[in-house]
Amino acid sequence: MVFPLLCAPNLVASKNMSLPAQIDPYKLALQGILLEGQVAVNDLPRLSSSVMAVSGSLKASIQFELDESRQRIARGKASVCVDVVCQRCLDAVNIELKADFALQLIYSEDQIANVAANYEPWVVVDRMADLNSVIEDEVLLVLPIVNYHRAEDCTGDTFVEKVAAKGEEAVVDSPFNVLKQLKQQ
């Protein structure tokens, strides 16, 4: 597939275009290419199975570049809206997942130790890499384990009261409080 962005870095493709699935990230980094576009829900199978629904396409922009020490880097942002379960009322709550990432390309896992602390390793053994899968990984990393509606939008308020009551009990029984009392005597 010929992706027009590769030919003219100054011509940024429409953000409504699909991102290319298979890319040569080493070449893109050497050329300093910016990729912007969308990933369709169908190309995000692991995200789809982790949430109630993916609402709309994922949008991403990834700048491929060489950093000051000539490492090949991919810096990106991705965002997507998903429906997840509110743990207070068990209805769907729509949240936006926003990922910010900086990846250093390496040829094998042996090189992970050489990846600078401000980057995550991106192991690309053969020249070609699956861009959708990498973006999906980054979005899954920012998916919260538990989710809630904002208090005013949520119908499940009993749970909050129970937690508050439990919290008070816990303070009374805390061993630190017992220690404090002992010290004061």
Residue 55 CB burial class (10 angstroms; 0-12, 13-18, ≥19): middle
Angle at Cα 161 formed by Cα 156 and Cα 166, nearest 5°?
A: 130
> Is position 143 an interface residue for Zn ion (rule: CB under 5 A)?
no
Element (H, E) at 61: strand 53-66
> Which residue carries 């011509």 as its tokens?
11
Binding span for Zn ion by CB under 5 A among 38-46, 83-91, 101-109, 165-173:
83-91
> Is position 92 an interface residue for Zn ion (rule: CB under 5 A)?
no
Single out the residue of 5, 88, 132, 136 in contact with Zn ion (rule: CB under 5 A): 88
**Which residue stretches of the chain are H helix?**
4-7, 25-31, 45-50, 131-141, 158-173, 175-184
Binding span for Zn ion by CB under 5 A among 43-51, 79-87, 136-144, 174-182:
79-87
22 versus 155: smaller Cβ distance to Zn ion: 155
72 versus 149: smaller Cβ distance to Zn ion: 149
> Is position 84 an interface residue for Zn ion (rule: CB under 5 A)?
no
> Is position 154 an interface residue for Zn ion (rule: CB under 5 A)?
yes
In angstroms, what is the minimal distance from the CB of 105 to Zn ion?
41
Single out the residue of 13, 89, 102, 142 in contact with Zn ion (rule: CB under 5 A): 89
Per residue in 110-124, is it b (16+ CB within 10 Å) or e — as a string? eeeeebeeebebbbb
> Is position 86 an interface residue for Zn ion (rule: CB under 5 A)?
yes
**Alpha-carbon gap, residue 63 to 164, rounded angstroms:** 46
152 versus 173: smaller Cβ distance to Zn ion: 152
Give residues in contact with Zn ion (CB under 5 A): 86, 88-89, 149, 154
